[in-house]
């Protein structure tokens, strides 16, 4: 157990003294997660809202498909994105393989079904009487949409948090598409896997602490928003 205590002490020292390799992985992770979450929310929230709000033929089958895609294996997504972005692939000319943007594409694919499914479930659980009352009061389509979104705001925030948690802790896509290149595409999770395999527990623990801090910040921010509203 001594190596764990020693690793924790060294991890704190790395964070305090601003170890460049450690912070390089942190910055890469924040950039990739920002890209992927921005794209997944812009696509997933409107799609999930439409899926939960509207009734149309085949809706049940689409819901089943989206729910199934929530459990997509990360290595499968990584393999598919790698095949698309590799130099002989259909998108190889874009030069996105082994880049942060390439990782973000894969993580966006991973996060969209989570945002869609949980947003749709939240919208479906919204009180039907609210819609009836608004229509009876003469509310227009735009007012209906805005009010429904406002009532479902906590569920949508929870959907975003779940998607962010999956993106933040993802390893397969970052490893396969990013290549785990030091100072370039090495993220927190791939750095933890690499350094632990090398026996460098200090950096692994330091980066693990950062993941915990990020998760705590997100939860505190969500609680703050709930209290404010």
What span, in angstroms and rounded, lies between the C-alpha atoms of 190 and 178?
Answer: 10
pLDDT band at 225 (very low <50, low <70, confident <90, very high): low
What span, in angstroms and rounded, lies between the C-alpha atoms of 186 and 62?
Answer: 36
Burial class of 228 by CB neighbour count within 10 A (0 to 12, 13 to 18, 19+): exposed
With both helix axes pointing from N to C terminus, report the angle between 20-53 and 188-197 in degrees, rounded to the nearest 10: 130
Question: Using alpha carbons only, how large is the chain's radius of gyration in Å?
Answer: 21
**Contacts with 70 (C-beta within 8 Å, 6 or more apart), sequence order:** 113, 114, 117
Which residue did the predictor score with more confidence, 59 or 197?
Answer: 59
- Tally the residues of the chain: 229
Domain 24-201: homologous superfamily in CATH: MetI-like (1.10.3720.10)
pLDDT beyond 70 at 4: no
From 15-19, 35-39, 41-45, 154-158, the region with the lowest mean pLDDT: 15-19
pLDDT beyond 60 at 229: no
pLDDT band at 51 (very low <50, low <70, confident <90, very high): very high
Q: What is the mean pLDDT of residues 205-228?
A: 76
pLDDT tens string 18-36:
778 878 888 999 999 999 9
The helix (run of H) or strand (run of E) holding residue 96 is none
pLDDT tens string 65-97:
999 999 889 999 999 999 999 988 899 889 899
Average pLDDT of the chain is: 85
What span, in angstroms and rounded, lies between the C-alpha atoms of 111 and 118?
Answer: 11
pLDDT tens string 145-179:
788 888 888 889 889 988 998 898 899 999 999 98
pLDDT tens string 106-135:
999 999 999 999 999 998 888 677 776 777
Rounded to the nearest 5 degrees, what angle is found at the Cα of 187, between the Cα atoms of 203 and 2?
20
% the chain with pLDDT above 90? 38
pLDDT band at 144 (very low <50, low <70, confident <90, very high): confident
């Amino acid at each position: 157990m001594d190596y764990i205590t020693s690793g924790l002490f060294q991890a704190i020292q790395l964070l305090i003294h601003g170890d460049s390799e450690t912070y390089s992985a942190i910055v890469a992770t924040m950039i990739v997660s920002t890209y992927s979450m921005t794209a997944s929310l812009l696509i997933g929230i409107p799609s999930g809202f439409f899926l939960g709000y509207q009734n149309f033929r085949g809706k049940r089958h689409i819901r089943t498909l989206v729910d199934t895609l929530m459990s997509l294996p990360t290595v499968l997504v990584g393999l598919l994105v790698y095949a698309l972005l590799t130099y002989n692939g259909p998108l190889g000319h874009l030069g996105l393989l082994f880049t942060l943007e390439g990782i973000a594409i894969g993580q966006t694919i991973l996060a969209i079904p989570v945002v869609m499914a949980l947003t749709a479930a939240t919208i479906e659980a919204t009180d039907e009487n609210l819609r009836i009352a608004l229509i009876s009061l003469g509310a227009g389509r735009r007012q209906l949409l805005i009010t429904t979104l406002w009532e479902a705001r906590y569920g949508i925030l929870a959907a975003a948090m779940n998607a962010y948690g999956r993106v933040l802790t993802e390893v397969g896509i970052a490893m396969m598409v990013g290549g785990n290149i030091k100072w370039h595409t090495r993220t927190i999770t791939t750095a933890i896997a690499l350094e632990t395999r090398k026996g460098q527990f200090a950096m692994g623990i330091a980066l693990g602490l950062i993941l915990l801090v990020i998760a705590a910040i997100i939860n505190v921010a969500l609680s703050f928003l709930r209290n404010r509203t």
